[in-house]
């Protein structure tokens, strides 16, 4: 892992001026900048869900506590720190956890150093939810919400069942308002109930999720990046993904569930690219899993190269200022993919793609609903999130991308279908609900 710092000469990231020139050229005539933050012109994702000044005049997520079950959060990042409740944050990476670094191990919530995000994923997700309006970088959907880091994913991005379940129970104990889960719980993608070990692990997750929900926590999860139809699953060829090289190809049916996306009561989110961009009319991201009765809503997750032909079709978010796997992987790509990373006032950002990016947009919108209706149950908030979404019809003439694409068709009505659920989340509608 690289030891380069944000100020090292090895960093090749774009300057804010270089990146905003790219984004102005790509998006300036299509989307209004959603804020006056320095990199806002690149935030097409916030523009298409109306996470803008008109919404912030009504709601900002103030007072809403948002848990982020992920790889940790960079507590030093200037676009994270103002909204991070470090005292309530906790790492659930126990000593000996596979793929974790010793620095991530924690035996109690007092070890705040263990929250460090060595992967980079959690920092990006958190910034999409609640990056503050502070004249640095970007703005999140709910820029005054309170973030609580619930670290359950390792430096290599593995989020094992025990850690995810512990984080969910802690969220219930803390009575957080909403929790984002941009993950599937390792080591299985699909947990099949006819297999005793997998059934036990799925029940562990169900029980923990139920505990959190009973204590008022709304749970939001990504649908997954396997281009699967979760209502009609066919093949799982990546499980188990740990230990290495132990995966087997197996047929899966409806007795098998992706977790947490298919846990009862969880709001599950598919991903779109830059909806409304001229010539981009499929809307569903190339990788996004779907499923009637599974996907509740959709949100911007990015769709590399699909609208403008650039990496700016993905979602811009914060990355740790300390060394992280994602920064070390993406920053060297800068010469070939201009603007894939950027440093603004010493703070790192990058463009990432996935339902991992769509879920936090829905989580941020949920925070706006909770701010207006603090007494509502998780079910009521979930219903409002769907009710205030902008319907997206099935794409005309859509076909599977290749033989690995299990989304054989989009089915349902213009108001609710297998690709987009009830539609694209909308921050303004939510704040005024």
Determine the pLDDT at residue 403. Answer: 86
Cα(159)–Cα(260) distance, integer angstroms: 11
Which residues 6+ apart lie within 8 Å of 36 measured at CB? Answer: none
Confirm if 50 and 139 have CB atoms less than 8 A apart.
no
Cα(356)–Cα(124) distance, integer angstroms: 9
Determine the pLDDT at residue 10. Answer: 58
Active-site residue numbers? 70, 121, 356
Q: Which helix (H) or strand (E) holds 172?
A: helix 161-174
**Radius of gyration, alpha carbons of the chain:** 20
Place of tokens 């950027």: 342
Q: Which two tokens stand for residue 189?
A: 């993608």
Place of tokens 């005539």: 29
Q: 260 preceded by cis ω (within 30°)?
A: yes
Cα(314)–Cα(49) distance, integer angstroms: 15
Cα(363)–Cα(221) distance, integer angstroms: 9
Confirm if 169 and 211 have CB atoms less than 8 A apart.
yes
CB atoms within 10 A of CB 265: 15
Burial class (CB in 10 A: 0-12, 13-18, 19+), 38: buried
Determine the pLDDT at residue 404. Answer: 86
All domains in the chain, ordered by first residue: 16-431 (3.40.50.200)
Q: Which two tokens stand for residue 26?
A: 């790509």
Low-confidence ranges of the chain (pLDDT < 70): 1-11
- 209 phi and psi angles, rounded to 5 deg: -65, -40
Confirm if 269 and 241 have CB atoms less than 8 A apart.
no
CB atoms within 10 A of CB 375: 7
Note the pLDDT tens digit of each residue in 360-401. 999 999 999 999 999 999 999 999 999 999 999 999 989 999
Q: Which two tokens stand for residue 205?
A: 């997750």
Q: Which two tokens stand for residue 409?
A: 């068709």
């Amino acid at each position: 892992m690289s030891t380069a710092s944000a100020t090292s000469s090895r960093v090749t990231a774009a300057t804010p001026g270089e990146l905003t020139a790219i984004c102005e050229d790509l998006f300036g005539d299509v989307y209004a900048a959603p804020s006056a933050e320095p990199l806002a012109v690149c935030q097409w994702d916030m523009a298409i869900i109306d996470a803008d000044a008109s919404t912030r005049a009504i709601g900002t997520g103030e007072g809403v506590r948002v848990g982020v079950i992920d790889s940790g959060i960079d507590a030093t990042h200037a676009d994270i720190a103002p909204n991070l409740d470090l005292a309530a944050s906790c790492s659930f990476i126990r000593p000996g956890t596979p793929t974790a670094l010793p620095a991530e191990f924690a035996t109690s919530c007092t070890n705040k150093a263990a929250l460090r995000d060595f992967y980079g994923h959690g920092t990006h997700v958190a910034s999409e939810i609640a990056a503050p309006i502070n004249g640095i970088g970007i703005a999140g959907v709910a820029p005054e919400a309170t973030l609580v880091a619930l670290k359950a994913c390792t430096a290599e991005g593995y989020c094992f069942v025990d850690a995810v379940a512990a984080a969910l129970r802690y969220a219930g104990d803390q009575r957080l308002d909403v929790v984002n889960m941009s993950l599937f719980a390792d080591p299985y993608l699909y947990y099949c109930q006819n297999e005793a070990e997998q059934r036990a692990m799925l029940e562990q997750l169900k029980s923990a999720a139920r505990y959190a929900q009973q204590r008022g926590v709304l749970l939001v999860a990504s649908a997954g990046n396997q281009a699967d139809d979760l209502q009609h699953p066919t093949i799982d060829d990546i499980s188990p993904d740990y230990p290495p090289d132990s995966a087997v190809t197996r047929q899966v049916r409806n007795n098998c569930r992706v977790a947490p996306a298919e846990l009862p009561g969880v709001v599950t989110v598919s991903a779109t690219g830059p909806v409304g961009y001229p010539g981009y009319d499929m809307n569903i991201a190339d990788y996004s899993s779907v499923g009637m009765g599974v996907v509740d809503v959709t949100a911007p997750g990015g769709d590399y190269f699909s609208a403008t032909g650039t990496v700016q079709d993905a979602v811009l978010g914060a990355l740790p200022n300390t060394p992280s796997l994602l920064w070390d992987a993406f920053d060297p790509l800068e010469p070939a993919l201009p603007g894939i990373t950027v440093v603004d006032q010493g703070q790192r950002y990058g463009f990432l793609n996935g339902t991992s990016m769509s879920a936090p947009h829905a989580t941020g919108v949920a925070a706006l609903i909770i701010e207006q209706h603090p007494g509502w149950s998780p079910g009521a908030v979930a219903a409002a999130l769907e009710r205030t979404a902008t319907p997206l019809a099935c794409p005309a003439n859509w076909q599977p991308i290749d033989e690995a694409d299990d989304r054989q068709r989009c089915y349902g009505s213009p108001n609710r279908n297998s690709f987009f659920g009830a539609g694209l989340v909308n921050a303004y509608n939510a704040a005024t609900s």
